[in-house]
């Protein structure tokens, strides 16, 4: 398996519910290595670039509010952004994260254990993890500059 990099975001619900440590612990125990990390204030522009593929979907407007912390009262619209590196890292992190819809995610995955679907139909699923190699390359470049990632 190739050595890959992937983008992980601890979303506002994950920060609000203090699930950062648990998430990092699970990634550590899967043998994956953190090679970059920073708190980021998510501007509307960054949120819209990150979620460009979802423009026009019924959940899009709330998705932009969600990733900017507007449902969780977070100061500065913050998320924790990280890059992980390792063999087959992209698929491994998706497996640890679980399916997009927390109701469908396997028990024991982060989303399956801790995600929720709100009464308004919003998926609050704790973390973002790049879905494939093309997304990972685009997303890592969107959130981090070269010098911020360990060589």
Choose between 21 and 121: whose C-beta lies nearer to Mg ion: 121
CB of residue 100 vs Mg ion: minimum separation in angstroms? Answer: 7
> Residue 129 in contact with residue 97, Cβ under 8 Å?
yes
Residue 59 interacts with ligand IDP (CB under 6 A)?
yes
**Residue 128 bears catalytic tag:** yes
Choose between 28 and 132: whose C-beta lies nearer to Mg ion: 132
Q: Which residues pair with 86 in a beta bridge?
A: 4
Residue 132 interacts with ligand IDP (CB under 6 A)?
no
> Residue 3 in contact with residue 35, Cβ under 8 Å?
no
> Residue 40 in contact with residue 81, Cβ under 8 Å?
yes
Task: Say which entry of ligand IDP, Mg ion, none residue 122 contacts (CB below 5 to 8 A, set by partner kind).
Answer: ligand IDP
Residue 137 interacts with ligand IDP (CB under 6 A)?
no
Distance of alpha carbon 24 from alpha carbon 34, whole angstroms = 9
Q: Where are the alpha helices (DSSP H) in the chain?
A: 12-16, 20-29, 44-50, 60-67, 89-97, 110-114, 133-143
Give the one residue of 84, 112, 125, 143 binding ligand IDP; rule: CB under 6 A: 125
Choose between 32 and 129: whose C-beta lies nearer to ligand IDP: 129
Q: Which residues are catalytic?
A: 128
């Amino acid at each position: 398996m190739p050595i890959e990099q992937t983008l992980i975001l601890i979303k506002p619900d994950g920060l609000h519910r203090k699930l950062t440590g648990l998430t990092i612990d699970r990634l550590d125990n899967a043998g994956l290595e953190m090679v970059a990390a920073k708190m980021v204030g998510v501007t509307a522009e960054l949120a819209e670039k990150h979620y460009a593929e979802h423009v026009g979907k019924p959940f899009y407007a709330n998705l932009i509010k969600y990733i900017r912390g507007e449902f969780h009262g977070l100061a500065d619209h913050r998320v924790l952004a990280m890059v992980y590196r390792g063999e087959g890292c992209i698929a491994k992190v998706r497996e640890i994260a679980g399916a997009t819809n927390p109701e469908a995610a396997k028990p024991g995955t982060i989303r399956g254990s801790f995600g929720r679907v709100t009464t308004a139909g919003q998926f609050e699923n704790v973390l973002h993890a790049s879905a494939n190699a093309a997304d990972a390359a685009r997303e890592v470049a969107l959130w981090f500059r070269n010098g911020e990632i360990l060589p």
